[in-house]
Amino acid sequence: MAAMERRTDTAEALAAAETLPEATKAVHEAGGLDGVRTLADAGDEAQLRHLARRARRLADRRAGATIPVETLAALA
């Protein structure tokens, strides 16, 4: 997640660059044009959306799994 967050920060900086100095700095911080190309092809958005769907399903499952603590304690 931390790596995806860093790549997203970099992508936002690249997208926001409106002047030559801003673009130069953003491209440099992305690791040059090769880094920009790699970042553009990373597929982070799809991976993050997939992760969000899995997290929602897992949260729903966990919400439905009420643990009967008192019952289990009485049986123990």
pLDDT, tens digit (0-9, with 9 covering 90-100), for 13-22: 999 999 999 9
Q: Is residue 31 part of a domain?
A: yes
Q: Is residue 21 part of a domain?
A: yes
Are the CB atoms for 26 and 17 separated by under 8 Å?
Answer: yes
CA–centroid distance for 40 within its chain: 15
Task: Give 42's pLDDT tier (boundaries 50, 70, 90).
Answer: confident
DSSP 14-70: HHH--SHHHHHHHHHHTTHHHHHHHHHTS-HHHHHHHHHHHHHHHHHHHHH----HH
pTM: 0.70
Please give the tally of structural domains in the chain.
Answer: 1
Q: Is residue 71 part of a domain?
A: no
Q: Is residue 58 part of a domain?
A: yes
Q: Is residue 75 part of a domain?
A: no
Q: Is residue 73 part of a domain?
A: no
Domain extent, residue 40, equals 2-64
Longest Cα–Cα distance of the chain, Å, equals 71
